[in-house]
Structure 1
Amino acid sequence: MNMRVVFMGTPDFAVPALQALLQNNYEVVAVVTQPDKPGGRGKKLRPSPVKAAALASGLAVYQPEKVREPDFIEVLKELNPDIIVVAAFGQILPAEILDLPPYGCINVHASLLPAYRGAAPIHRAIINGERQTGVTIMQMDRGLDTGAMLLQGELPIGSEDTVGLVHDRLAELGGRLLVEALELIKNGQVQFVPQQDHLSCYAAMLTREDELIDWKQDAMAIKNQVRGLNPWPGARTSLADKLLKIWRVSVMEDYPASSAEPGQVLVAGGNQGIFVQTGNGVLRIDELQLQGKKRMQAAEFLRGNQLAAGSKLGEEESSAGGGGV
């Protein structure tokens, strides 16, 4: 049986799943993605990564403002899919769509459910210092990532891994698991495993508050925050009246104890780099970006900027918070 598939996805994470379907000769009858959004300096409308990939493969693309609109549901009915595959689409599917295909709707979710249900599972896992994550292929139901699970694949998180690295690995894993799950469904071999709701946790969408470094935190917690926001949206603090994004840091395990306040610069110069006191321990800033400048290594930054020992980071957040980098 050659399954008729409608694919719903929007960002880069979903592209490998779509490509895996095509590479394995699934009949993708249509791709549904979010409407084009303005971006860049000129604020020109930009297609989603999934739309770009779909058009490059000659697929039909639909971009409803809301999938629950009756007109779009009629379009779906005419497409007559055997199954709907969802990967980071960005809209909640109503019951009428969930119940439409004979094999239902399955989702490629970037966590080991029931952990990290919600919008930002990769970011939250790294920010929380997890050492393992993965992908779950699940049957969609009326809850938020609560449906029964078909397959899971695990992925370790290294101590220096950023959200960008883990995102790309999970996206590729998701594509492989999706094809494996569809083969099981086609062959009538799938076994659904209910989630244990009492083990669940929620991965809320990121806010501006999540980007702000609280120097009173433990050094390792700040490092995890920096890793979990690199390359987007970036962890931020301030230097005098300017926004300062921090892209890479190291925990200095054996640095001598000091009486400095959290956020205070201990050393800034020479080959030593920039050392900052936290609430517990010392961080070395390795890569950073001052408002209006490019990302750069700490040594390069210090060659062009004055930063004296004793300076305080994070004292002007209210005035620095609105600027871009």
Structure 2
Amino acid sequence: MKIVFMGTPAFAVPSLQMLVEEGYNVVAVLTQPDRPQGRKKTLTPSPVKEAALSLGLPVLQPERLRRQEAIDELAAYEPELIVTAAYGQILPKAVLDLPARGCVNVHGSLLPKYRGGAPIQRSVINGETVTGVTLMYMAEGLDTGDMISRVEVSIEEDDTAGTLFGKLSLAGRDLLKAEMPRLLAGPVPATPQNDSEATYAPNLKREDERIDWNASSRDIYNRIRGLVPFSGVFTEWNGETFKVWAAANPSAASSSRNKESSAEPGTVLTVNEHGVEVKTGDGSLLLTSVQPAGKKAMSAADFARGGTMKPGTVLV
């Protein structure tokens, strides 16, 4: 049976590799076009493209899958099953109708919660303790299709979006592997989603990365975790961007200090070998990895030794 795989980030790679390793007939791979990366804006292939080429698979990279020429190019491969995992484009009805066995999606949440493009990051930002992967038939709506099966995955307090991506990518691979024999045999019984329970995980924007020091220490900590290792979060110091890549878990006993401080949120309370302690809406948070404008990320202890930030400084 001819299978077309669609995916873009590293999350999708284990599922693609599994299909090939298990001997399934993957006839083509669709992924997003190469994008500029880094300061030099070098055109860089997606992780799925790199994996597909290493496996000797044809790669298609339509800018817009809705365009007729892209649909025609895909149709030429005569797919009987389409498998997607974080592809990054909504499939039009003309594509959904192509394969006789349908289109299935490996989605990084327990649907109907966290429909949308950033379910993993949003689940960490929102302080969830459990998430998972849902294997679903695709429909025209945004992650609205009937659910085939799903598996739960715990979110630990020290998980970041990056570590959770890794966990969920493997969970998705294993879930897809378990269901592939049924998917090839014919239509699989699936459960409609309860739309009244749906929540959404829209793609992240620049404003999602800004720290609100009036928030609780826990909320800020979760935001940092939810954007690492991708964009990180930022505040402003001396009118320039000051990025934060890690902080101490506020559940630790030391996080209770300075709750009585009268300083305004965002005020730097201490700068020492332990890091940079900043007043929050309900206490303080110890920043342990930072990146001043124009510099590389560094431990907050190394930053403190530079002596350029003093207690009393206000971050905004």
Same structural fold, with TM-score higher than 0.5 when normalized by the shorter chain: yes
Q: CA-atom RMSD, angstroms? A: 1.4
| Cα deviation, residue 160, structure 1 | 1.2
User: Does the Cα contact within 8 Å between 2:101 and 2:186 map onto a contact in 1?
Assistant: no
| Matches of 1:76 and 1:204, distance apart in 2 | 27
2:308 pairs with one of 282, 289, 306: 306
**What's the CA shift string for 1:250-279, capped at 9, x where partnerless?**
22443141111100111112x343211111
Deviates more, 1:159-168 or 1:300-309: 300-309
Which residue of structure 2 lines up, in the alignment, with residue 279 of structure 1?
Answer: 281
Which residue of structure 2 lines up, in the alignment, with residue 47 of structure 1?
Answer: 45
Point out where structure 2 has 5 or more consecutive residues left out of the alignment. Answer: none
Structure 2 letter corresponding to 1:39: Q
Seen in structure 2, the aligned counterparts of structure 1 residues 85 and 279 have a Cα distance that, compared at 3 Å, is same
| Cα deviation, residue 16, structure 1 | 1.0
Structure 1 letter corresponding to 2:53: L
User: Does the Cα contact within 8 Å between 1:246 and 1:285 map onto a contact in 2?
Assistant: yes
- 2:50 is paired with a residue whose SS is helix
| Matches of 1:244 and 1:142, distance apart in 2 | 41
| Matches of 1:175 and 1:259, distance apart in 2 | 51
Which residue of structure 2 lines up, in the alignment, with residue 261 of structure 1?
Answer: 264
| Cα deviation, residue 189, structure 1 | 8.1
1:238 pairs with one of 236, 239, 248: 236
| Cα deviation, residue 111, structure 1 | 0.5
| Matches of 2:72 and 2:234, distance apart in 1 | 46
**What's the CA shift string for 1:213-261, capped at 9, x where partnerless?**
0101111100000110111111100121221111111224431411111
User: Does the Cα contact within 8 Å between 1:181 and 1:190 map onto a contact in 2?
Assistant: no
| Matches of 2:274 and 2:47, distance apart in 1 | 41
User: Does the Cα contact within 8 Å between 2:159 and 2:225 map onto a contact in 1?
Assistant: yes
Point out where structure 1 has 5 or more consecutive residues left out of the alignment. Answer: 315-325
TM-score scaled by length of structure 1:
0.92
| Cα deviation, residue 152, structure 1 | 0.5
TM-score scaled by length of structure 2:
0.94
User: Does the Cα contact within 8 Å between 2:124 and 2:225 map onto a contact in 1?
Assistant: yes
State the identity as a percent.
Answer: 49
User: Does the Cα contact within 8 Å between 1:121 and 1:203 map onto a contact in 2?
Assistant: yes
| Matches of 1:43 and 1:254, distance apart in 2 | 43
Which residue of structure 1 lines up, in the alignment, with residue 192 of structure 2?
Answer: 194
Which residue of structure 1 lines up, in the alignment, with residue 12 of structure 2?
Answer: 14
- 2:247 is paired with a residue whose SS is strand
| Cα deviation, residue 299, structure 1 | 1.2
1:139-288 equivalences under 5 Å are 139-188=137-186, 190-250=188-248, 251=250, 252-256=254-258, 257-269=260-272, 271-288=273-290
- 1:118 is paired with a residue whose SS is coil
| Matches of 2:256 and 2:187, distance apart in 1 | 54
Which residue of structure 2 lines up, in the alignment, with residue 119 of structure 1?
Answer: 117
User: Does the Cα contact within 8 Å between 1:114 and 1:201 map onto a contact in 2?
Assistant: yes
